[in-house]
């Protein structure tokens, strides 16, 4: 099944009455308790709490005290398919997405083979239509094999369904190559997603450069290795008038550069990950490989700049950079371990616990930033309004859980939040009108019967 650039296996259209939840949608202005009726996978009716009754055959979920949000959208995940299915595949990856309240995700092309050819992309779409529990969109590579030498057939890849292009995992090192991709974007369309890193400042580095890397004797990757390339590429985007999205920003200077070029009218956007928003390089003192990712966890001042950027609009959305790795791959010395952490199952809860509960970020802003990734890639933004397809996340903010306590929906367990106690349990996820995730405690209360 496909829904405007997204592919999934589909399912029986949901018939649901969610009663008494606190409905919160920053885009429609909803912010209060109410009833929501889903018929045939669409939001059919909204009403005051207790106002709606379940028609025959419609399941009722008593959700008083819980929150109902528009489904989250993650524009940055790695599902490792094709080629590395021992880490994740479309079924387990989308199960993790659903467990985290996500109703649409965008998968990166750094697979094996790389998604740099329309035939590979078509095969992947077909796999998604068989396996994906929530709708998945795909980015294709900017350069063949992510090597930075030759452009992919961007126009044909767009026709085959690519939402945009990225060499994520690697930067487009040569400015001239990036410029050509931006020029070609006028023909092909599709946003360029960029992993910003100057290899001459980061080669061989395994963590942020600072007091912690000095202490541990680990090669440090300085913040300017990211920010100088953000500034360079934003200037190229402004010059060419192209659209560019900066992935997983980690450094204060990068936020500054993005704000500067946005101010000059460049069509540039940026994302930040839950781990960069809630952790710093201090975590690496443990030498636990679950804290190894690229870009690395940086200083507290960088984290504060990302939070400020989220609040003032410089950072457009939250993206997990969900990057699963098998246990044996991470059970090695820090320098040897692959980069990346999982994130789909903990995205909302980590930020809710660390930033919303202490009053640093409003809940509505978190919901907005967890859904705004859609529009950046020309996807429909999930909304709680009558007539919209049901893309919903039902969350109990009062309930605590311990990350990893009951395992993970993802095939991999490399969460940087493993063992942490978080508030906010996703009770139910409805994606593109189908029930994609149901927490074991969310059993049908009643099913409506003929009066």
Partner 1 sequence: MKHLLSIDDLARADIERVLDRAASFAEVAGREIKKVPALRGRTVVNLFYEASTRTSSSFELAAKRLSADLVSIRAATSSVTKGESLKDTITTLTAYDPAAIVIRSPHAGAAQLVAGWTDAAVVNAGDGKHEHPTQALLDVYTLRQRLGSLDGVKIWIVGDVLHSRVARSDILAFTRMGAQVTLSGPPTLIPRGIEALGCTVEPTLDRLPEADVVYVLRMQRERMEEAYVPSLREYAARYQINAERLQPHQLLMHPGPVNRGVELSGDAIDSPQALIAQQVEAGVVVRMAVLYELLAGANSRAPLSVNPNVESAVAA
Binding-site member from 31, 56, 150, 336 for partner 1 (CB under 8 A): 336
Binding-site member from 116, 209, 316, 345 for partner 1 (CB under 8 A): 209
Query: With respect to partner 1, which residue has the nearer C-beta, 287 or 413?
Result: 287
C-alpha separations of 381 from 103, 289, 439 in Å: 10, 35, 24
Element (H, E) at 270: strand 267-272
Measured between alpha carbons, how far is 157 from 190 in angstroms, rounded to an integer?
Answer: 10
Q: What is the DSSP letter of 354?
A: I
Residue 200 C-beta: closest distance to partner 1, Å: 11
- x/- mask, partner 1, residues 286-305, rule CB under 8 A, reads -x------------------
Interface with partner 1 includes 142 (CB under 8 A)?
A: no
Measured between alpha carbons, how far is 134 from 389 in angstroms, rounded to an integer?
Answer: 13
Binding-site member from 36, 181, 218, 409 for partner 1 (CB under 8 A): 218
Query: With respect to partner 1, which residue has the nearer C-beta, 46 or 326?
Result: 326
Binding-site member from 328, 407, 443, 449 for partner 1 (CB under 8 A): 328
Residue 211 C-beta: closest distance to partner 1, Å: 4
Residue 217 C-beta: closest distance to partner 1, Å: 3
Binding-site member from 213, 346, 347, 371 for partner 1 (CB under 8 A): 213
Binding-site member from 123, 175, 211, 445 for partner 1 (CB under 8 A): 211
321 catalytic? Reply is yes
Interface with partner 1 includes 407 (CB under 8 A)?
A: no
Question: 292-309 in b/e burial notation, b at 16+ Cβ within 10 A?
Answer: bbbbbbbbeebbebbbeb
Binding-site member from 48, 51, 214, 421 for partner 1 (CB under 8 A): 214
**At 115, phi and psi to the nearest 5?**
-80, 80
Name the one range near partner 1 by CB under 8 A: 183-191, 205-213, 244-252, 365-373.
205-213
Residue 333 C-beta: closest distance to partner 1, Å: 3
Interface with partner 1 includes 334 (CB under 8 A)?
A: yes
Measured between alpha carbons, how far is 274 from 284 in angstroms, rounded to an integer?
Answer: 16
Interface with partner 1 includes 413 (CB under 8 A)?
A: no
- Taking each continuous run of H as one helix and of E as one strand, the counts in the chain are 14, 21
CA max distance for the chain: 72
- x/- mask, partner 1, residues 268-287, rule CB under 8 A, reads -------------------x
Interface with partner 1 includes 308 (CB under 8 A)?
A: no
Interface with partner 1 includes 212 (CB under 8 A)?
A: yes
Residue 441 C-beta: closest distance to partner 1, Å: 34
Query: With respect to partner 1, which residue has the nearer C-beta, 122 or 215?
Result: 215
Query: With respect to partner 1, which residue has the nearer C-beta, 209 or 423?
Result: 209
Residue 388 C-beta: closest distance to partner 1, Å: 50
Active-site pick, 321, 378, 396, 423: 321
Q: Residue 93 CA to chain centroid, in angstroms?
A: 12
Q: Judged by CB under 8 A, how many residues of this single chain contact partner 1?
A: 20
Query: With respect to partner 1, which residue has the nearer C-beta, 219 or 365?
Result: 219
Residue 216 C-beta: closest distance to partner 1, Å: 6
Query: With respect to partner 1, which residue has the nearer C-beta, 332 or 402?
Result: 332
3-state helix, strand, coil split of the chain in percent (to 5) is 30, 25, 45
Element (H, E) at 341: none
Interface with partner 1 includes 75 (CB under 8 A)?
A: no
Q: Which residues are annotated as a binding site for Zn(2+)?
A: 76, 78, 168, 195, 248, 321
Measured between alpha carbons, how far is 266 from 105 in angstroms, rounded to an integer?
Answer: 26
Please answer whether residues 213 and 219 qualify as being in contact, where contact means their C-beta atoms are separated by less than 8 angstroms. Answer: yes
Residue 336 C-beta: closest distance to partner 1, Å: 6
Radius of gyration of the chain (CA): 21
Structure tokens at 212: 């912690």
Q: Is the peptide bond before 292 cis (omega within 30 degrees of 0)?
A: no
Q: Is the peptide bond before 318 cis (omega within 30 degrees of 0)?
A: no
Interface with partner 1 includes 419 (CB under 8 A)?
A: no
Measured between alpha carbons, how far is 332 from 201 in angstroms, rounded to an integer?
Answer: 25
Give just the sign of the alpha carbon dihedral 228, 230, 231, 236: positive
Binding-site member from 265, 333, 387, 440 for partner 1 (CB under 8 A): 333
Q: Which residues are annotated as a binding site?
A: 76, 78-80, 110, 168, 195, 248, 294, 321, 325
Long-range CB pairs of 41-44 (<8 Å, 24+ gap) are 41/13, 41/14, 41/389, 41/390, 41/432, 41/433, 41/434, 42/13, 42/387, 42/388, 42/389, 42/390, 42/433, 43/384, 43/385, 43/386, 43/387, 43/388, 43/389, 43/390, 44/386
Q: Which residues does the annotation mark as catalytic?
A: 321
Residues near partner 1, by CB under 8 A: 209-218, 220, 222, 287, 328, 331-336
């Amino acid at each position: 099944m496909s829904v405007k650039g997204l592919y999934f296996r589909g399912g029986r259209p949901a018939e649901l009455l969610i009663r008494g939840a606190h409905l919160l949608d920053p885009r429609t202005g909803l912010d209060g308790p109410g009833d929501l009726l889903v018929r045939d996978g669409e939001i059919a009716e909204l009403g005051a709490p207790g106002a709606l009754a379940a028609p025959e055959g419609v399941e009722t979920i008593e959700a008083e005290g819980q929150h109902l949000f528009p489904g989250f959208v993650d524009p940055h995940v790695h599902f490792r398919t094709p080629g590395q299915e021992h880490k994740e595949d479309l079924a387990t990856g989308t199960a993790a997405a659903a467990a985290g309240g996500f109703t649409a995700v965008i998968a990166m092309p750094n697979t094996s083979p790389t998604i740099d050819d329309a035939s590979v992309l078509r095969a992947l779409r077909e796999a998604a239509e068989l396996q994906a529990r929530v709708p998945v969109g795909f980015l294709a590579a900017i350069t063949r094999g992510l090597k930075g030498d030759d452009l992919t057939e961007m126009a044909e890849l767009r026709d085959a369904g690519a939402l945009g292009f990225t060499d994520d995992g690697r930067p487009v090192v040569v400015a001239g190559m990036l410029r050509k991709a931006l020029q070609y974007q006028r023909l092909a369309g599709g946003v360029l997603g960029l992993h910003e890193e100057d290899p001459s400042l980061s080669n061989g580095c395994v963590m942020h450069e600072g007091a912690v890397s000095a202490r541990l004797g680990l090669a440090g990757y300085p913040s300017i290795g990211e920010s100088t390339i953000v500034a360079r590429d934003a200037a190229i985007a402004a010059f060419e008038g192209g659209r560019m999205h900066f992935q997983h920003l980690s450094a204060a200077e990068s936020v500054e550069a993005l704000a500067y070029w946005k101010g000059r009218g460049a069509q540039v956007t940026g994302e930040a990950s839950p781990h960069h928003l809630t952790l710093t390089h201090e975590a690496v003192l443990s030498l636990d490989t679950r804290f190894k990712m690229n870009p690395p966890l940086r200083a507290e001042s960088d984290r504060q700049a990302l939070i400020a950027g989220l609040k003032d609009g410089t950072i457009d959305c939250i993206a997990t950079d969900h990057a699963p790795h098998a246990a044996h791959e991470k059970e090695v010395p820090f320098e040897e371990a692959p980069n990346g952490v999982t994130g789909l199952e903990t995205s909302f809860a980590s930020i809710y616990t660390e930033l919303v509960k202490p009053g640093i970020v409003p809940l509505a802003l978190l919901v907005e930033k967890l859904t705004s990734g859609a529009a950046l890639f020309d996807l429909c933004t999930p909304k709680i309004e009558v007539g919209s397809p049901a893309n919903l996340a039902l969350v109990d903010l009062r309930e605590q859980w311990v990350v990893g306590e009951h395992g993970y929906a993802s095939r991999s367990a490399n969460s940087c939040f493993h063992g942490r106690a978080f508030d906010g349990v996703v009770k139910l996820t409805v994606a593109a009108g189908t029930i994609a995730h149901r927490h074991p405690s969310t059993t049908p209360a009643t099913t409506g019967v003929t009066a």
